Amino acid sequence: MTTSKVQIALVLPDLLGTYGDFGNAVVLEKRMTWRGIPAEIVNIRFGEPVPESCDIYVVGGGEDTAQTLAVRHLREHPGMQRAAARGAVVLGVCAGIQIFGESFTRADQVTHPGLGLLDSTSHAGGSRAIGEVVATPADGLFEGLLTGFENHQGRTVLGPSARPLAHVKVGTGNDGSVEGAVQGRILCTYLHGPVLPRNPQLADLLIEWATGTKPAPLELPDVTRLRAERAKAAGVTLS
């Protein structure tokens, strides 16, 4: 880590903040603070430079125009890409999984180059995926089911350098089969909710990557209840 505090960069929340995705940064900060790990959120808004010194970068969802503006900004201010190259943790949600790839094709059939952080391409699907998602983690990456809410038309195809985050049981995710992507310490998902409040095991995985230490157990009954409630809404019972 670059400072005495774990720095969590909340990247372009004014462009990419659909469904309260800023909550992912809040959850990371709180789950570290509650364990005695100093952490702080660094807000980076449109038009501001992106520092390459942060430890975790959080990118949320947004519509087509916001995605295009975000890519332009991040190309002009490549601090996040430089940080990712040295091993910083990056979380991309919905728009994130699309703009992190090699390219993304919008609903107007115009293809835009992505940031090249992820071996993937994205395009607009024939129908919009809306509703609850339940998925099983791929390759034992984390424990428990992944749950969340999706609302997107994009479909994402992973290349050989990227692997799925999870395998879909209910919902669409990337393509109806797999959900999200992992490549190095870059983790992406289509899931809102926000995704980290709903999946604390995923938050703790990112914290472990950022700090190099597996976090001590931290159980919150309200989170457990919420997970069970939302999984039931999708027709799945959590074990």
Identify the weakest region by mean pLDDT among 41-45, 86-90, 207-211, 233-237: 233-237
Helix (H) and strand (E) counts in the chain: 7, 12
The predicted pLDDT at position 76 comes to 97
Enter the pTM of the model.
0.95
Please state whether 119 falls in left (phi above 0), alpha (psi between -120 and 50) or beta.
beta
Q: What is the DSSP string of 101-127?
A: SSEEE-TTS-EEE--SSSSEEEEEEEE
* Token pair belonging to 89: 């943790």
Q: What is the DSSP string of 38-51?
A: -EEEEEE-TTS---
The predicted pLDDT at position 2 comes to 43
Taking only the tens place, the pLDDT of each residue in 189-199 is 999 989 999 99
The predicted pLDDT at position 115 comes to 97
